[in-house]
Amino acid sequence: MKIVMVKKLMEDGLECKKCQEVSARLKLNDELQYIDEIIWADVNDPESAGYKVAGEYGIDIAPFFVVDDNGKTTLYKTYLELKKKVFNKEPAAEDIEIEEKRKPKVDPDEDLYLI
β-pairing, 64-69 vs 72-76, is antiparallel
- pTM, full prediction: 0.83
β-pairing, 112-114 vs 105-107, is antiparallel
CA dist 83 and 107 (Å) reads 31
Answer yes or no: CATH 1.10.3470 is held by domain 2-114.
Answer: no
Domain spans of the chain?
A: 2-114
Residue 14 scores a pLDDT above 50:
yes
CA dist 94 and 26 (Å) reads 12
Residue 18 scores a pLDDT above 80:
yes
For the chain, percent of residues with pLDDT exceeding 90? 73
